[in-house]
Amino acid sequence: MVGLTGGVASGKSTVSSYLERLGAVVLDADVLARQAIAPGTEGHKLTVQAFPEAVRDNNTIDRKQLGRIVFANEEKRRILEGIIHPQVISEIKEQGRQWETSGYTVVADIPLLFETGCDQFLSPIWVVYVDEQTQQKRIMERDDIDAAQARQRMESQMPLHEKAAKADAVIDNSGSVQQTYAQVEALWRELHEDCPDCP
């Protein structure tokens, strides 16, 4: 199972979407994380207990408010990660096994891949990289936040240059989309050299 990671606003979604077009089954940790705290789940109950200030009147969780809380407080971020990460990792392992048994190439798209130890069971690992200035600018534009808030979000993760140093391959997303796609295609071909008929 391929591990795909990067930093916030580094362009990981662009890469994972293209991998799906090439035939990969992408397991998105962000989607699984939302499901882990959806109403009716144990994760939702634990999150409501731990973060009452992020709960709306109808008992749903205000994800933007929750984000502001945890990105500003490392201890609270660790609490939320303790609720979500074990469930997400378990689900990725289980779904990944099922798809691989059917012969598919599985890509696990995990923002905190190294931070959560997922590099222990994923191989190869690809990192989507941009320089810090580009990353900060993209976060500010995407989330409509100021530079200080953008830095908070960047600093909640391992720096991209450290992730790149640990990776089996680095996808540089600083240029055009076409340049990024070309790098992804090359890695995809390399991955399937020994299995040309794999889905």
Domain boundaries, the chain: 2-34+91-191
pTM of the model: 0.87
Between 3.40.50.300, 3.20.20.70, 3.20.20.80, 1.25.40.80, what CATH number should domain 2-34+91-191 receive?
Answer: 3.40.50.300
* Nearest CA among 9, 4, 16 for reference residue 135: 9
Ranges of residues in the chain with a pLDDT under 50 are none
Q: What is the model's pLDDT at position 153?
A: 86
Distance CA 14, CA 177 (A): 8
pLDDT, tens only, 131-152: 989 999 999 999 899 999 898 8
